[in-house]
Chains A and B, each alone.
Chain A
Amino acid sequence: MSVYSVHARRRVIDVASKILMGAATLVGVFFLFWILWTTLKFGLAGMHWSLFTQDTPPPGTDAFGLRNAFVGSLILLGLSMLIGVPIGLMGGTWLAEYGFRSRTANLVRFINDIMLSAPSIEIGLFAYAIVVAPMGHFSAFAGSVALAILMIPIIVRTTDEMLSLVGSDMREAAVALGAPAWVVITKVTWKAGRAGILTGILIGLARITGETAPLLFTALNNQFFSTNLFRPMANIPMVIFEFALSPYANWQQMAWAAAFIAVAFVLVLSLVARSFLGKVQVPK
C-alpha cells in the first residue's frame, strides 16, 4: 500500500467523521429546538388569564383553569423542600465536615450516587407502601415524601462538593477564636458555601418539578382547589397526564399550557442555579 493511499484514507476517515459528529450535534440540537418550539407554540396558544384564577373545569365545558394545579404543585414543592432540604443539607454536611474521605463516608457517597438515578416510579411505589397504605388514603404529604426522596441525593451531593471547596483558612480562624464545631459549620462554612448549596437546592427543585411517576400512587389529583395536606392534591404533572390523553380540545390546550409553564419554570431555575454557580469560589 503506497504512502499516499494510506494518507488519503486517513484523511477521508477524518473528514467523514468530523461531518458525522457535526451531524450528531445537529441532531441533538434539532430535537431540542423541536420540542421547545412545539411546547412554546401550543403552550402559548393555550394560555388564558383564567388559568391562574379558575380551577380545572369538568369535561364538556369550554373553560380554562389551572389554579388548583399551580397552587397544589407549589405546596408539594414547598413541602418536599421542607422535608428534603434539611436532610440533604445535614447529610452533605456530615460527608464534608465529619466524614471526609473515610470508608463510611465514601460508602455513603456511593449509595447516594446510586440513589441519584433511581427510577422515580420505584420511589413512588415505596412512598405508597410506607405512607399511603398505612394512612388509608392518598395525600399530598405522601407525594411530598416521594419528591423529597428524589431531591435528597442531589442536595447531598452538591452540598458535599461545595462545602469541600470552602478553604480551610476561614475555618481555622473561627476555631482559633474558640468557636465550637457547630458554630464553625453553620456560621462560617455554610455561609461561605451558600451559593453552591443554593445551586444544589435549585437543581433539586428543577428535577422534581416535572416528575409525574412519584405522584401517580401518592398525591393523585384533585379537580377542586384544596390546600389539605392529607388529601389528594391537584398538581401540574398529573393534570398534564390526565388532560393530554383526553379527547377534549380545551383540556388538551391546557395540557400544553401547563407543560409550557413547567418547562419555563425549570429553565428559569436552571439558569438561576447556573448564575449562582458562577459565584462559587473554586480553589486554584
Chain B
Amino acid sequence: MKFLRNIWIVLALATACSLGTYAGATLTGAGSTWVYPLVAKWAATYQKLTGTEVNYQSIGSGGGIAQIKAGTVAFGASDMPLKPEDLKAAGLIQFPTAVAGAAMSYNLSGIASGKLILTGPVIADIYLGKIKKWNDPAIEKLNPGLKLPDMNITVVHRSDGSGTTFTFTNYLSKISPEWKEKVGSNTSVAWPVGVGGKGSEGVASYVQRIPGSIGYVEYAYILETHGSYARMINSAGKVVSPTLQGFQDASAHVDWANAQDFYVILTNQPGPDTWPISGCTWQILRKNAPKETNMQVMKFFDWGFEHGQQMAKSIAFGPLPPSTVEAIKAYWKKELGYSI
C-alpha cells in the first residue's frame, strides 16, 4: 500500500501546483480552424511578451459558437458572423480579426499548382455530384491547354462544423441557384457527395493523400503544405489567383464601419482582382462574462491589431484597415460599457 500512499502524495503536490498556476493568466478560446494559424502565431509571441497564455483550440467555427454560447471558453472564433438578432438574443458581441481567402486544393499528378482554372458554377456542380470526372467537358472548356485525366473526382469537404464551410457554401449559394435550393449555406450542411475531413488540416491531409481529389481549404493551409491551388474566374470575369491583395480587395468593397455588429459577407465581391472566396473571422465574446476575462481578450486582440500585422501578412492574412480597428474599439466601449 506504500505505492498508493505515494500516489496520494504526488497528487496532492499536483493539486498544489494547479492552484499555483492561477497566478499567470490563461485565456481559452476555441473555434475556427481558418484563423488558427494566425491566433497561434500571435499567442506564441504574446506569451513571451506578457506571460498571458492564450490557449486556442481549433475545433471548427460551429464549435466556437457552441462553446461561447455555453460559456465554456473566453472567446469563440467563427468565420460565419452571427446575425445581429442572434447576437442580441444570446447576449454576445462580435468583431472581425483579419481577412483571408479559401481556395480549391487538388491532387492531380500531372498538373502543377495554379495551372487549373475553375469557376464557381463548375465547382458547385462538382460538389453537387453532377460533374463526376476530371475530363468532363465543363472543366476542359476552362482549361484548353491542360491534359485532364479520365479519373473520378473525389470530393473532400469538412466533417466538422466550419466557418470555412459557411464561406464556401455562401459563395456557391450566390452563384448557383441549384446549390442554394438543394443544400444551402451554413457551418455544417448536408453534403450530396464526398468524404469528410476533420478540420482544414483533415481536408488538406485527405487531398494530399487521395489522387484525383479536390477540397476547399484556407489559403494559409495551402501555403503551409505546399499544396496545389486552382485559379478562379471572379465576378468581373477575370482569372485571378488567391493572393493577399485579392482578399484585401474584397474587404475594400465592404462598409465595415456602418455594418451592424460588423455583419458583412466578403464572398463574390466586385472588383477586377478580387478573390471570389474571401472571408473573415469574427471573435465572439459574452457580454456578461467577468470583466477581467473580456479585458484580457480585448488586450490580446488589440495587441494583434497593433503589432501583429507583419505576422499576419506572412501567412496571407490581410489586416483590417485602421478605421475599422477604431470602429472595433468604439464598439467594445459601446456594447460592454468598458474598454481597454
Contacts and interface: CB of A to CB of B under 8 A. Distances in A.
A and B touch in the complex (CB under 8 A): yes
B291 interface: no
Contact of B72 (A60, A132, A222, A224): A132
B65 to A, nearest CB: 16
Contact of B28 (A194, A231, A247): A231
Contacts of A221: 57
B208 A247 contact: yes
Contacts of B202: 245
Contacts of A81: 7
Interface stretch (A133-141, A177-185, A267-275): A133-141
Nearest to A243: B201
B326 interface: no
A173 to B, nearest CB: 20
Interface string A100-135: 000000000000000000000000000000001100
Q: How large, as a class, is the contact surface on chain B? A: 35 or more
Contacts of A224: 26, 47, 53, 55
Interface in A196-227: 198, 220-224, 226-227
Nearest to A230: B18
A85 B4 contact: yes
B44 interface: yes
Contacts, number: 99
A17 interface: no
B28 A227 contact: no
Contact of B1 (A190, A227, A242): A190
B9 to A, nearest CB: 11
B292 interface: no
Nearest to B41: A58
B225 A137 contact: no
B151 to A, nearest CB: 22
Contact of B224 (A82, A227, A228, A247): A247
A87 to B, nearest CB: 13
A245 B11 CA distance: 33
A247 B22 contact: no
A43 interface: no
Nearest to A82: B11
9 contacts: A78-B10, A78-B11, A79-B11, A82-B8, A138-B28, A226-B21, A227-B20, A246-B201, A246-B205
Interface of B: 1, 3-4, 7-8, 10-11, 14-15, 17-18, 20-22, 26, 28, 36-37, 40-41, 43-44, 47, 53, 55-57, 70-73, 197-199, 201-202, 204-205, 208, 221, 224-225, 227, 315
Given A60-B315, A137-B72, A228-B21, 17 more contacts: A78-B7, A85-B4, A136-B70, A138-B28, A220-B57, A222-B55, A224-B26, A224-B47, A224-B55, A226-B55, A227-B18, A227-B20, A230-B18, A232-B28, A245-B202, A247-B204, A248-B201
